[in-house]
A and B are shown apart, each in its own frame.
Chain A
Amino acid sequence: GAGVSQSPSNKVTEKGKDVELRCDPISGHTALYWYRQSLGQGLEFLIYFQGNSAPDKSGLPSDRFSAERTGGSVSTLTIQRTQQEDSAVYLCASSPGYKQYFGPGTRLTVL
């Protein structure tokens, strides 16, 4: 079956611009996570959605970062006024329980 998909696969933007990253989870998975991976680093948790519950935003690095999940399915991660330190691979994962299924990621480059 279809796995987690993310778009775009690559995004190059200029410092100060806003970007939106999209995640399409596996159908039926109630949980959705966003992580980011900076060059040569491990993955860093950003935000977690579960059903209609309030999201866990404890990993968002600043108020420039926000995310929403519409209809319990597709999620969008928005970064406002991008900075060069935001350059990373942004990974989305969905889960029916404890096991997480990751998408291929979006590589964001901020010039």
Chain B
Amino acid sequence: DAKTTQPNSMESNEEEPVHLPCNHSTISGTDYIHWYRQLPSQGPEYVIHGLTSNVNNRMASLAIAEDRKSSTLILHRATLRDAAVYYCIPDMNSGGSNYKLTFGKGTLLTVNP
């Protein structure tokens, strides 16, 4: 599995953009990069995923470096509800249809009002 490095914690103000970095220098060429987040006292929820191109959805944007050794999750306007632990997870496909997730410690995002 590809190893990931994320900051332990980050802080943002409400309605400001947030850039959450992730290093995954050992990622293989076919590994997707997935982001999940876990709000307090809840199970994780899917945020976004991508392979090579930058991706956007209603929750966030994902910017992937050209060499794919790093990626950045972008929350365009942080809200208090975005306070959560964010997990960057490459190398999900263990073969076939088994997409077991390998979670690291993630980044704890605090959003200040």
Contacts and interface: CB of A to CB of B under 8 A. Distances in A.
A31 interface: yes
B104 A93 contact: no
B28 to A, nearest CB: 16
Given A100-B46, A105-B43, A56 B103 contact: no
Interface string B92-113: 1110111111111110000000
A103 B99 contact: no
B46 A43 contact: no
Interface centre among A42, A59, A95, A105 (most CB of B within 10 A): A42
Contact of A102 (B44, B94, B99, B106): B44
A33 B49 CA distance: 19
B15 interface: no
Interface of A: 4, 31, 33, 35, 41-45, 48, 50, 56, 59, 91, 93, 95, 97-105
17 contacts: A33-B100, A42-B104, A43-B44, A43-B101, A45-B101, A50-B97, A56-B94, A56-B98, A59-B100, A91-B43, A91-B44, A95-B99, A98-B93, A98-B99, A100-B44, A102-B42, A103-B43
